[in-house]
Structure 1
Amino acid sequence: MTRNLTADNYTHVIGDPIAQSKSPMIHGFWLEKLGLLGAYTSNLVKPADLSEYLDAGRGDPNWMGCNVTMPHKQAILEHLDAIDPDAATLGAVNTVVRQGDGALKGFNTDLGGFLEPLTALLNEDHLFRMARIMGTGGAARAIIAGLAGKGFTLVVAGRDPSKARELIDELAPNGEHHAIHLSHFAEPTDFEFDDRDRCLDLIINASPLGMHGNPPLNFHWSHAPPRSVAYDIVTSPLDTPFLQGARAAGHDTINGYAMLIGQAAIAFEKFYGVAPPRTYDDVLMDMLTR
């Protein structure tokens, strides 16, 4: 049910830094298309000010909640009145919704947002599914849990393999999953993959490598089985060296805006009680890439 909105209602995305966030553009676009009142803006909230910000929101009936980005996704847990089970399992919150009584409930929409562009593939029957996941940070948590729940065997690679193993043991304790050093994928391999008939292989960059200001992810595409799908959660730049290398090797690709829009859509419905108009995804994607 669509919530009754006035021009005084507002929602934020909070983080530190926050100027780079595309969330105000996405949510503002959907609000305009649906003719809904209210504003969605970014708000710089430093770690020391997080509790004060949330307390102010509790007492303001015009504040509908906030999306949460780094570095608050885990720190915010202790300040909330209720936490959705998925967010509790992941140990991270990226969406806070103010309830009618002022209580704050936390959700995690990263998992649903990550899986959304994979829906068609996941609806197919496969004899085997494997995902090679590069990264052990906050984003990797949702990806590990989500793909383990979809029947994938996981190979999680990080600079610290012990951290990769800890994530697997915590989030995907069942199954024969593997933790290795990130450098394993940097050097070429002469391993001969089979023809992968009815197999689904994902190669996922869940790290900040390749983002503006960071070195590229050093992944040698001889490690990718035929017809793999490369998925990069980095959004700046949108077309990373990782994705360029995947296409050059003949693989399909999914860029970071697919996850960004997917997770935003879930959060939008929690804030406003109505699904966003996804028929405009192509228009929105064009706006985001300008």
Structure 2
Amino acid sequence: MSVPYAEVIGDPIAQSKSPVIHNFWLARLGLPGRYDHCQVHGDGLERYLSQRRTDPDWRGCNVTMPHKLAIMPLLDRIDPLAARIGAVNTVVREADGSLTGYNTDAPGFLEPLQAELAATHLFRMARVLGTGGAARAIVAALAQEHFVIVLAGRDAGKALAMLDELAPDGEHHATDFGHFADATDFAFDDRKGCLDLVVNASPLGMTGQPPLAFDFSHAPPGAIAYDIVTSPPDTPFLQTARAAGLRAIDGYAMLIGQADRAFTRFFGANPPREEDEALRTVMQA
């Protein structure tokens, strides 16, 4: 008996928590189906899609590093949000076999910030570190929510080009990682009525990667520290933020949020989000 399935692709891919999330939801809902992971090298991406396109049981895939940009010209249609971001993290096989690319990273990133975003602020600023595919979604999402963005990368020129492309209408700023690595004696003004974010949108701090060099003297009082790294979920960046008295949001929040949107497209049902705490326990096992 055939069973509908989806999967996550990338290179490497064994560390992905996406199978844990989707299979947890399938089991809780009692739905037939499975979610796998599949390692796909860069030169095998076109072959992979050609093979899956003809499989009626394949519902689609999530896309992680390094394929979020490379996969776009291989698809039949790109959703407008994904086109604006310039990165795809979810591919859905339509009934006619055509493939549509979506980006669920942007709404997934914003999900744990909904209470703050629903409020009115005098000023919103985000310091974002990273210029990869996930950072593109984050920058686009923050610009849409009227943040002034300071974007840092290994190459300040690449950061500036990304801002010009994704947020051309704002008074944004680009710099390199070194700007935030050393302490500053900058005296922040009264931040009452303001919303400040510090976002690690890079792989730095991930297992096997060097740590992110960020001095929290660059974070205004009351700022929220947000790290999209999921392995480990509690990074030194977040630990230092909490020690400084800041609210910390881990990478599981964005991962679960983006998976929610993908799951609905793959399996035609809303995931049981009331089970989030149980899901987090399973993810950390």
> TM (normalized to structure 1)?
0.96
Residue of structure 1 equivalent to 2:80: 85
Aligned-pair distance for 1:89?
Answer: 1.1
SS at match of 2:222: coil
| Alignment match, 1:72 | 67
Give runs of aligned pairs for residues 200-215 of structure 1, distance below 5 A.
Answer: 200-215=195-210
Counterpart of 2:175 (choices 175, 180, 184) is 180
Q: Secondary structure at the match of 1:75?
A: coil
Aligned pairs for 1:6-155 within 5 A: 7-155=2-150
Aligned residue for 2:71, secondary structure, equals helix
- Greater CA deviation, 161-170 or 188-197? 188-197
Alpha carbons 2:85, 2:166 under 8 Å: kept: yes
User: Structure 1 residue 84: deviation in Å?
Assistant: 0.3
Mapped partners of 1:13, 1:245: distance in 2 = 31
Alpha-carbon distance in structure 1 between the residues aligned to 2:15 and 2:197: 28
| Residue 7 of structure 1: how far off its partner (Å) | 4.6
For residue 191 of structure 1, report the CA deviation from its aligned partner.
Answer: 1.2
Whether the 8 Å contact between 2:2 and 2:57 is mirrored in structure 1 is: no
1:180-199 per-position Cα deviation (integer Å, ceiling 9, x unaligned) = 12111111111111231110
Cα distance in structure 1, aligned partners of 2:209 and 2:45: 27
1:3 — aligned with what?
none
Shift of 1:10: 1.4
Partner SS for 2:195: strand
Aligned to 1:133, the other structure's residue is in SS state strand
| Structure 2 counterpart of 1:239, from 213, 216, 234 | 234
| Matching residue of 1:224 | 219
SS in structure 1 of the partner of residue 21 of structure 2? helix
- Which amino acid counterpart does residue 232 of structure 1 have in structure 2? D
Report the alpha carbon displacement of residue 8 of structure 1 after superposing the two structures with TM: 2.0
Alpha-carbon distance in 2 for matches of 1:29, 1:270: 16
1:166-213 Cα offsets, whole Å, 9 max, x none, are 000000001110001211111111111123111000000011111111
Distance in 2 separating the partners of 1:32 and 1:169: 44
Any gaps of 5 or more consecutive residues in structure 1? 1-5
Gaps of 5+ in 2: none
Aligned equivalents of 1:199 and 1:32: distance in 2? 42
Deviations 1:229-261 (A, max 9, x none): 000001111111111111111100000000000
Local SS of the residue matching 1:139: helix
Counting aligned pairs with the same residue, the percent is 62
Q: CA shift at 1:68, angstroms? A: 1.0
Q: Deviations over 1:109-144 (max 9, x none)?
A: 000110101111101110100000011111110111
Match of 1:162 among 133, 150, 157: 157
Deviations 1:36-86 (A, max 9, x none): 101111111122221121112221111111111111111111111111011
Please report how far the alpha carbon of residue 159 of structure 1 lies from its aligned counterpart in structure 2 after TM superposition: 1.6
CA-CA distance at 1:101 after TM superposition: 0.6
Matched residues in 1 for 2:7 and 2:216: separation? 40
The alignment yields a C-alpha RMSD, in angstroms, of 1.0
The residue type paired with residue 21 of structure 1 is S
Q: Which moved more, 1:142-151 or 1:70-79?
A: 70-79
Return the alpha-carbon distance in structure 2 between the equivalents of residues 114 and 70 of structure 1: 17
Using structure 2 for the length normalisation, give the TM-score: 0.98
